[in-house]
Amino acid sequence: MEYFFQQFINGITLGGVYALFALGYTMVYGIIQLINFAHGEFFAAGGYVGVIVLSFLGAHGYMGTHPWLCLAFSLVLTMGYCAMLAMAVEKIAYKPLRRSTRLSVLLSALGMSIFLQNGLMLTQGVYDKAYPTAFVQGGLDIGGVRISIMQLLILGLTAVLLFILNALVFRTRIGKAMRATAQDKVMSALVGINSNRIISLTFAIGAGLAAAAGIMVGLYYGAVRYDMGFVPGVKAFAAAVLGGIGNITGAMLGGFIIGMVEIMAAAYVPHGGEYKDVFAFIILIAVLYFMPTGIMGENVDDTRV
Amino acid sequence: MTRESRRAWLTFAVALGWFFLLLWPLTGIKADGSLTFDQTLAIFWRVAAAAAVLVVFWRLKRKGSFDGAGRGLATARAALARGISVVPAWIWWILLAAGALSYPLLTNRYGQDVAVTVLVYICLGLGLNVVVGLAGLLDLGYIAFYGVGAYTYALLSVNYGLSFWLCLPLAAALAAIAGCIIGYPTLRMRGDYLAIVTLGFGEIVRIILNNWMELTNGPKGIISIPPPSIYVPELEPTLHFVPFELRKITYAYYVILGLAVFTVVAVHRLNFSRIGRAWEAIREDETAAELMGVNTFLLKLLAYAMGAVFGGLAGAFYAARYRFVNPDPFTFIESAMVLAMVVLGGLGSIPGIILGALALIALPEVFRGFELYRMLAFGGAMTVMMLVRPAGLIPAKRMGQRSEERD
């Protein structure tokens, strides 16, 4: 039983990361009905910029004295960086192609993804880059179940970011504009919403969340790699589809489910550890086949475009 | 300076500033706590200079400064086309065939090696073209079929001693089955779902190849795969046939040349058949195609399976050529490479894809020093191509006319 609770904690931590990551997919899809192929690269870039800022601060000795402040600082910088990156990608690869075929947009986004991934590799090297994790060692024991400080940090941060996002989307004017654009671009433009700016902003917000997820994964596993956005990207997409693509609450829920399934399958299914990357994918196919609208989603066929 | 050009240069400056802000954190902040600008500026000035030249070029083109040159180029091209058509087409075909057949006699081992790789990629590119170019389904896990083909031949020949020629159709069939397995649940979805699902599928094939130790020997791979062999007649003592192993690279070249020619002919015939027209109809407008009585689901599944067939054939050759397979070559990067060939060359265009394969394999061989920047350039080229010339270097010829092109 303790083993189960331990895995439950691990699953919910991983799920939080996937939830943050999946939000970018689902928000972009909701607003322009396209998959953002470069989203995994925002995640990886986030992981890298995070470790760059943290090591820079560490070299000046600030990590020893104020580790939490440093983390907050690097988190904010990294989210800003990835938001800028996402806006650039949107301007280059999506905006000029808004009236062309879906295939051209997918291909241009894919080209961007390959470009960014290799750009990261060329500037940062092909090897893993280690995260400073000394300040998040230790943990709590609750009835034999161990919760590390790291897991608490990830869970807390995820909760805060999800709360902010919810407030932003459902309580502010900008959020209202985003939802209006997602529903009907022409109509929202007629009532004075600058849809180009809203689309750009949606990319930026999604990338900011992915950047936060990248830092968390870096802290959790202790290292980042230039191609780390690839497999988690597919899983996060599975989470977005599971929750119902285009639906923000659904993506959060889907992320937690995917994370939980992955950890539980690795723990309880024979050979599960070796094939843990396969489970999210099986869920993706099953959902697409039996329940294409996801748990709380809208329809996915052509009728919305 | 007109208002328009001021605007263009202002956009240019903002874009460069943006680029600098994105580049500097990755190259300028060092882990030892120092901040440098040397490396960043070295990259930045080059990009800025290249971009400035492009902006000037683009402005001049907008103003019409190149109209004269464009007309000159058009006349030159027309003259060249007339010159080519003076000689009957079959002479060109014979020259081409003679060139392809005598190629190994004229080049060294290295040249043949490059040619074999180019031909393998032509097969892969044409196979992917059936899926992406003709049917318009984005497949990002195409290399998985290559892997299925390679492992089919490797396992069947090592474990059961089956010959290469028998394994070729088996590899194609297994790849087609794999294509149907992945296609069946996903083809009802829209294209972008398919893209991600195939991406995941490609990854899963690699995970299975890596972890199913009993079957595939995992990351260590399968060694000593026999090369293809043929029976040659021998007169002593009496007329009988002995097996002869096609071990040398020259023989491998002829085998893959045959496969590539088969692929070109097959894809060409498919393209201009009833099925090919149905695929193009699906690509252009699926709903309209369905209304016209095209069985879209079955035909998409067929496109998937046909594409996989050519991947499987190329894969079987790969295993026979290197006589060793492990899961490493079957990564997403390879899928992206093949896709880049198809996209750069021209979706749906057979000469375009051949050119694309030549450009993407042979050019990096020429510019050896830039090996590292290869994928960076391909990715960038893919995006740029979609922005400026979405039909590719050699656009596909269309059958018939479209209503908006008439009058």
Residue A213 reports pLDDT greater than 90: yes
Q: Is residue B174 predicted with pLDDT exceeding 60?
A: yes
122-181 of B, contacting A, C-beta below 8 A = 132, 136, 138, 140
Q: Is A293 among the domain residues?
A: no
A300: contact with B, CB 8 A cutoff: yes
**Which of A100-104, B106-110, B218-222, B256-260 holds the top average pLDDT?**
B256-260
**Contact A231/B at CB under 8 A:** yes
**DSSP characters over B242-281:** EEEE--SHHHHHHHHHHHHHHHHHHHHHHHTSHHHHHHHH
Query: Which chain A positions have a beta carbon within 8 Å of B382's beta carbon?
Result: 107-108, 110-111, 114
Residue A300 is predicted with a pLDDT of 45
pLDDT in tens, A161-193: 999 998 998 899 999 999 888 888 888 889 999
Enumerate the domain spans of chain B. Answer: 3-83, 92-388
A251 within a domain of the structure (yes/no): no
What's the distance, Cα to Cα, between the start and end of chain A in Å? 48
| Any B CB within 8 A of A291 CB | no
Whether A65 is covered by a domain: the verdict is: yes
Beta bridge partners of B244: B230
| Position A1 pLDDT exceeds 80 | no
> Does residue A124 sit within a domain?
yes
A residues 82-111 lying closer than 8 A (beta carbon) to B: 84-85, 88, 92-93, 96-97, 100-111
Read off the pLDDT of each residue in B5-13 and give the average, rounded to a whole number: 86
Angle, helices B374-388/A102-124, rounded to nearest 10 degrees: 150
pLDDT, average across residues B120-143: 91
> With pLDDT > 70 as the criterion, what percentage of chain B qualifies?
97
Residue B404: its pLDDT value, please? 57
Place of tokens 């007649």: B233
pLDDT digits (tens, 9 = 90+) for A228-268: 888 888 899 889 888 888 888 888 999 999 999 999 988 88
- Percentage of chain B beyond pLDDT 90 is 25
Contacts A81 to B, Cβ<8 Å: 22, 25
Whether the CA torsion A21, A31, B138, A261 is positive or negative: it is positive
A17 vs B61: CA distance, rounded Å: 48
Q: How far is Cα A82 from Cα A241, in angstroms, rounded to an integer? A: 23
Does residue A303 fall inside a structural domain? no
Q: Binning pLDDT at 50, 70 and 90, where does residue A305 land?
A: very low
Helix (H) or strand (E) holding A224: strand A223-224
Lowest mean pLDDT among A93-97, B63-67, B200-204, B249-253: B63-67
The answer to the question of residue A73 being in a domain is yes
Tell me which residue range forms the domain holding A39.
Answer: 15-240
Report the alpha-carbon distance of residue B113 to residue B297 in Å, rounded.
40
Mean of the pLDDT values across residues A53-80?
89
Q: Is B336 on the interface with A (CB under 8 A)?
A: yes
Q: What is the pLDDT of residue B201?
A: 83
Put simply, the answer to whether B390 touches A104 (Cβ < 8 Å) is yes
Number of domains in chain A: 1
pLDDT of residue A303: 34
More confident: B396 or B124 = B124
Picking from A25, A234, A302 by the largest number of B CB atoms within 10 A of its own CB, the best residue to mutate is: A234
Q: Does residue A98 belong to any structural domain of this protein?
A: yes
Instruction: Check residue A302 and give its pLDDT.
Output: 38
Q: What angle do CA B120, B124, B130 make, to 5 degrees?
A: 150
Model confidence at A301: pLDDT above 50: no
Of A2, A32, A41, the closest CA to residue A210 belongs to A41
**CATH 2.50.20 assigned to B92-388:** no
Q: What is the mean pLDDT of residues A196-225?
A: 92
Q: What percent of chain A has pLDDT over 70?
A: 97
Residue B265: pLDDT band with limits 50, 70, 90 = very high
* ipTM value: 0.85
Section B17-32 average pLDDT: 86
Task: Phi first, then psi: give them for residue B242, nearest 5 degrees.
Answer: -115, 145
Note whether residue A131 is domain-resident: yes
pLDDT tops 90 at residue A297? no
